[in-house]
Amino acid sequence: MLPALDEAVFATFAQDLRSYPEALQFLADFDAMLTRRISRIGDALECGEGEETTTALLSLHASAAMAGACALQHSTAKALTTIRCSGVSRGFADELVLQLTDQAQHFTRSYRAFRRGAL
């Protein structure tokens, strides 16, 4: 099982930024925007907007990679591949939104625990 928040990935990100406080702020912003980002994906899937779906998934994928949100990163990569290869069914769309929502909740719990220890 992939971690909701990989602290080693976060540490590398903080080193790359050369600012631990800015990296922590990125995590806070990432966490705060998760619900809206997943809603954007769900709305695009529901409306059949392929380009918007891809853009929303790529955006979440890239920021999840930086944040160390490995489970979300993996799920978005898999969804992008599925969309490119097979298209989107209603069942796929519903399952993806549920999966991303669950993983976002796990990330939030992990982030809050991490933040308590990091401050």
Euclidean distance between the first and the last CA atom of the chain, given in angstroms as a whole number: 27
Give the pLDDT score at 101: 99
Give the pLDDT score at 89: 83
CB 50 within 8 A of CB 83: yes
- Residue 83, pLDDT above cutoff 70: yes
Q: Where are the domains of the chain?
A: 7-12+30-118
User: What tokens appear for 117 in the block?
Assistant: 């220890």
User: DSSP secondary structure string, 29-42?
Assistant: HHHHHHHHHHHHHH
Confidence of residue 1 (pLDDT cuts 50, 70, 90): confident
pLDDT tens across 55-82, in order? 999 999 999 999 999 999 999 999 999 9
At 13, the amino acid letter reads: F
- Mean pLDDT (whole number) for 95-100: 98
Contacts of 76 (CB under 8 A, 6+ apart): 57, 58, 60, 61, 64, 100
pLDDT tens across 5-56, in order? 999 999 999 999 999 999 999 999 999 999 999 999 999 999 999 999 999 9
- Residue 118, pLDDT above cutoff 80: no
Widest CA span in the chain = 45
